[in-house]
Structure 1
Amino acid sequence: MTGGPRIAAAPISWGVCEVPGWGHQLDRDRVLGEMRDLGLAATELGPDGFLPPSPERRRALLDSYGLTGIGGFVPLVLHEPDHDPLPEARATFRGFAEGGVDMVVLAAATGVDGYDERPALDAAGWRALLGNLTRLAEEAGRFGRALTLHPHVGTMIETRDEVDRVLDGSSVPLCLDTGHLLIGGTDPLDLVRRAAGRIAHVHLKDVDAALAGRVRAGEITYTDAVRAGVYRPLGRGDVDVAGIVAGLGAAGYQGWYVMEQDVVLAAEPPHGGGPRAQVAESLAYLAALPGGPAAGGAG
């Protein structure tokens, strides 16, 4: 990519999620059409089944909406010593390469559906996880793909201590998800200040800090918090989005800013409203930031 950072979309901002029972799932034509109508020209792929599995058909469909696929969320079990994630990962990397999708957004999955509970990692689990991160990053490179690790609520890498252990124990770049980090107990602006060179991909969220605190305290589940609106349009929550964008810009960040304000939909929203209106509000906020990123394609 050239020309500095750019803005991309993500289907989860329209409630499209891999978790069974997450909520009402919008038709992909509506989602892609609303992305296009908002002036976005790039998107992450969304969960398996949202777009055609064939790389060629997927690219053709995105092309028909003026969109480019720039990355995809890939949850894999990395912490089990007797489980090898490489064969599954290799198939994904091949599909990304054949479809022109550059960024593998890896998550350290627990092995169960959803993000409301997770096991603790022991020493053997940590050795397996950190070793697999290195192996998968090397394998992604063989396919010409970039790989980042996404700290994510309800995965094996959620808390600040876990994020720091990955930073100290591996060289794998991070996906800076401003919402998941905050809910997990990491100040995303502080992470930018101390480790900007490790950030290769960004998911932008704003967060209701009070609801986030209730998730950390175990008072409500993560899914219930999303349903209650823990993620806010940019500028309407407690994340210093402006400071994060400014800090990354000062550090020379050249990657994507992916619009990710996760929602759970109860029903089909009216056309022009619902997720489209919230993404439009977030885009307007970004556009008003001095020196902020611009919506656009691959540069």
Structure 2
Amino acid sequence: MAHPTPLDRIRVGSAPDSWGVWFPDDPQQVPWERFLDEVAEAGYDWIELGPYGYLPTDPARLTDEVAKRNLKVSAGTVFTGLHRGPAVWEETWAHVGQVAALTQAMGARHLVVIPSFWRDDKTAEILEPPELTAEQWAHLAKGMERLGHEVKETYGLDIVVHPHADTHIDTEEHVERFLDSTDGELVNLCLDTGHYAYCGGDSVKLIETYGERIGYLHLKQVDPDILAEVVAGGVPFGPAVQRGVMCEPPSGVPELGPVLQAAQRLGVELFAIVEQDMYPCEPDKPLPIAVRTRRFLRSCGA
């Protein structure tokens, strides 16, 4: 059997998301101690913080908890609605500052930025039009550039914007428009392979076309049959996840081997964090999947 090319520039990790964690505090989620124990047991070295407040927010305590399990933190995550213009800046910065300070204290270098949802992921209520106006696009681009600048100046972190289903940065057209209207010195992308496929995009093509803008990866796959039903029925993202639209690799799309090879060819160090959306899920479900996923990624050379 041919050995895969070693992906020596790719640092693999996982995230609370792969344990069914979407909220800081929710009785349907596994306790944070169990997540840390199991992510280490599954063979991962790197983790993300997940929703702010799920893991301990005291840097000394969190440092101790991750160190004793031989884990390291790759990034924190923030949610933003910067297309709404300068009026939301102060509120956004207050949230970003909390998460960025903890991320910096944990020695991480990245802040994953998720745009706000136009459709509620729990209730499916339409909150805003799915298409932005020209003015809103301008607010979004300028706001993200400002955020990238301020986060770098204040906390020494790089922001990576995460295209996401049911947000305004989702399809190939929207992702390319966003990249073309922002400065790569200030703003780069967290390419989530599952969300991009969910919205019809080709991850390998994006990496090959906009390689210098790919700052971070989330590894995820979609089940094409469930996705077809979801698209046909106009199902919102939250209920789609409950149907199992995000599936265990290598059973879905895109193929992760070619994505990782394309990322390796960029010639830069990149995190590739596994995120299999499973909210809500049975507490015993994530660990076996995580073990199998880690084994699969090793078979790809990662």
Q: 1:242 aligns with which of 243, 254, 257?
A: 257
Matched residue, 1:106: 113
Moved more, 102-111 or 167-176: 102-111
Matched residue, 2:204: 189
Q: Which structure 2 residues correspond to residues 193-232 of structure 1 after superposition, within 5 A?
A: 193-232=208-247
Contact 2:49 2:76 in 1 (8 A): yes
5+ residue gaps, structure 2, are 1-7
Contact 2:76 2:99 in 1 (8 A): no
CA distance in 2, matches of 1:251, 1:98: 29
Contact 2:24 2:52 in 1 (8 A): no
Moved more, 195-204 or 232-241: 232-241
Q: 1:9 aligns with which of 9, 14, 29?
A: 14
SS at match of 2:103: helix
Q: Tell me by how many angstroms 1:105 deviates.
A: 0.3
Matched residue, 1:47: 51
SS at match of 2:77: strand
Matching of residue 119 in structure 1 with residue 131 in structure 2? no
SS at match of 2:142: helix
5+ residue gaps, structure 1, are 294-299
Moved more, 207-216 or 28-37: 207-216
Partner amino acid, structure 2, of 1:73:
T
CA distance in 1, matches of 2:204, 2:174: 17
Normalised by the size of structure 1, how large is the TM-score?
0.88
Q: 1:71 aligns with which of 71, 75, 79?
A: 75
Q: 1:146 aligns with which of 158, 180, 183?
A: 158
Normalised by the size of structure 2, how large is the TM-score?
0.87
Contact 1:20 1:114 in 2 (8 A): no
Matching of residue 94 in structure 1 with residue 101 in structure 2? yes
CA distance in 1, matches of 2:268, 2:226: 30
SS at match of 1:79: helix
CA distance in 2, matches of 1:198, 1:176: 10
RMSD: 2.1
CA distance in 1, matches of 2:72, 2:102: 15
Aligned residues: 284
Contact 2:76 2:100 in 1 (8 A): no
SS at match of 2:207: helix
CA distance in 2, matches of 1:256, 1:286: 13
The 3 A distance-change label for structure 1 pair 96 and 207 is: same
Matched residue, 1:160: 172
Matched residue, 1:296: none
CA distance in 1, matches of 2:195, 2:205: 14
SS at match of 2:84: coil
Q: Tell me by how many angstroms 1:119 deviates.
A: 2.2
Contact 1:183 1:213 in 2 (8 A): no
Q: 2:269 aligns with which of 231, 239, 254?
A: 254
Contact 1:19 1:113 in 2 (8 A): no
Aligned sequence identity (%)? 28
Contact 2:25 2:53 in 1 (8 A): no
Partner amino acid, structure 2, of 1:257:
A
Partner amino acid, structure 2, of 1:200:
G
Matched residue, 1:56: 60
CA distance in 2, matches of 1:189, 1:111: 27
